[in-house]
Amino acid sequence: MTGFKEPSLAERQNAAANARKTALKKFRAGADDPAFAQRQADRKVSAAERTTAKKARDIQKAEAKTRGAELAKQAVRDAAEKAARDLAEDAARGAERKAGRDARYAARKARKR
């Protein structure tokens, strides 16, 4: 009885070459399939839609940042105007108080004479 026969190097190489040929044939057959072509076209359309949506989101984010910056500038302007107005009112009140004090002082001096 003979034992297990090991394949020779040439047989193994032929088997590997045949396997590669079979895999290549299978791959090429899949590439020619109309369903495969349709899936590829669908993928390209989805990628284009995703790109368009991403650009729209980026534009919205940029507009929101611009609006935020404008609102911040307006808030700073409003705060500066309010501070200037408050400062002017404080100066006016101080001048009124000083005028009242001066008038009272002058009245006291007039009474003493």
Amino acid code (one letter) for 37: A
Residues 47-85: tens digit of each pLDDT: 999 999 999 999 999 999 999 999 999 999 999 999 999
Distance between CA atoms of 52 and 59, rounded to whole angstroms? 11
The answer to whether 15 and 7 are in contact (CB under 8 A) is: yes
Q: Identify whether 19 is part of a domain.
A: yes
Question: Would you say residue 95 lies in a domain?
Answer: yes
Read off the pLDDT of residues 26-54 as tens digits, 9 standing for 90 and up.
Answer: 888 777 778 888 999 999 999 999 999 99
Q: How many domains does the chain have?
A: 1
Sign of CA dihedral 16, 21, 27, 30: negative
pTM (two decimals): 0.48
Give the pLDDT band of residue 1 (cuts 50, 70, 90).
Answer: low
The percentage of residues in the chain with a pLDDT greater than 70, rounded to a whole number, is: 97
Instruction: List the domain range (segments joined by +) for residue 62.
Output: 10-112
The answer to whether residue 4 is domain-embedded is no
In whole angstroms, give the CA distance from residue 57 to residue 86: 43
Which residue, among 23, 44, 54, has the nearest Cα to 31 in the 3D structure? 23
Residue showing tokens 């002017």: 88
